[in-house]
Amino acid sequence: MLGRLLFPKILAFEINTTKTLVRNVSYLGRLKPNDGSTKNYKRLGRGPSSGKGKTAGRGQKGQKARGKVPIWMEGGQTPYFKQLPMVGFSNKHNAMDFHEVNLSRIQDLWDTGRIPLQAGETLTIRVMRECGLITGSLKDGVKLLGSSLGKYTVPLNIEASKATTEAVKKIEDDAKMSFTARYFTKLGLRAHVNPAKFLLKKGYVPQQARPTSKKNIAYYSDSEKRGYLIKDKSILLEPLEKAREETKTAKPKKKTSKFKSLYEQLSEASSIGYKPTNRTVNIQELA
């Protein structure tokens, strides 16, 4: 009695909520979709009395009666998309797919002690694979990104396939370390990441191939991209310059015909020496 006198409003609220819960439970048995939201399927081909028998609403003969018409079909005439000229090109067969590694990820693994290197050592793709910076199947290499990072303080030199200008700037300016862009083929990358597999299976480790295309040679010879060819010119640039100088100074060779003259053919075919003369011969002298 005392509680009812002191808190009459609270008791009235509890009674009302219990009534609404009971009322909502009674609605569960009468649930149904809104009017017009669902429609029953019309059975086709079930006799003339249904209104959709025999031809089942498709009419008589024709492409639409026998099957479906593609949305791009224009009745057999040249389609509109084929009348337009071809513009541009696709370079997918030469495109390279890289693992993208952000410097913030390297910073996190270094802070937690998950990179098995000492300060001043080089972080290669093999070490990235071992510590979990790159996972899954190997692609064409690793590209470093420098976005979404405040300050980079990892004291490691990094060697990867490519890097953005922001990433190179943070490695050199913030961490005071160096970056080297190195070219890898698919075979060379597998040999770099897992050389023990090649030693056990074939007994040797394949040598790293040098870039062959002009685009790759120009990229890895660029000092702004921190290419490894400009740092060590003995790999490719010095042999190229030497070969160019030799081609300039070499004397042009005289082209000789691969077909022999009649005189050379006769001299090789017979043991009797043959010498051409201008003397006329009569038939009587030959008899």
The DSSP secondary structure of 131-158, one letter per residue, reads HTSS-SS--S-EEEE--S-S------EE
172 φ/ψ angles, rounded to the nearest 5 degrees: -85, -40
Token couple for 26: 């009674």
Are the CB atoms for 128 and 116 separated by under 8 Å?
A: no
On the 0-12 / 13-18 / 19+ scale of CB atoms within 10 A, 266 is middle
On the 0-12 / 13-18 / 19+ scale of CB atoms within 10 A, 237 is middle
Q: Is the pLDDT of residue 2 over 50?
A: no
Which residues, at least 6 apart from 162, have a Cβ–Cβ distance to it below 8 Å? 98, 141, 142, 143, 144, 181, 225
The pLDDT of residue 102 is 95
Taken as a whole, the chain contains a residue count of 287
Q: What is the mean pLDDT of the chain?
A: 86
DSSP codes joined into one string, 92-115: TTT----EEEEHHHHHHHHHTT-S
Most distant pair of Cα atoms in the chain: their distance: 164
The pLDDT of residue 94 is 83
Are the CB atoms for 235 and 229 separated by under 8 Å?
A: yes
Residue 150's nearest CA partner among 98, 180, 111, 99 is 111
Q: Report the predicted TM-score, pTM, of the whole model to 2 decimal places.
A: 0.61
On the 0-12 / 13-18 / 19+ scale of CB atoms within 10 A, 126 is middle
At 200-248, the pLDDT tens digits run 999 999 999 999 999 999 999 999 999 999 999 999 999 999 998 988 8
The pLDDT of residue 25 is 66
| CA distance linking residue 234 with residue 230, whole number of Å | 9
The whole-number average pLDDT for the span 112-130 is 95
- What residue ranges do the domains of the chain occupy? 99-193
| CA distance linking residue 122 with residue 62, whole number of Å | 72
Give me the residue label for tokens 């001043």: 120
The pLDDT of residue 210 is 94
The matching CATH number, chosen from 1.20.1440.230, 3.100.10.10, 1.20.1070.10, 3.30.930.10, for 99-193 is 3.100.10.10
The percent of residues above 90 in pLDDT, for the chain, comes to 64
| CA distance linking residue 237 with residue 249, whole number of Å | 19
| CA distance linking residue 188 with residue 191, whole number of Å | 5
Q: Is the pLDDT of residue 282 over 90?
A: no
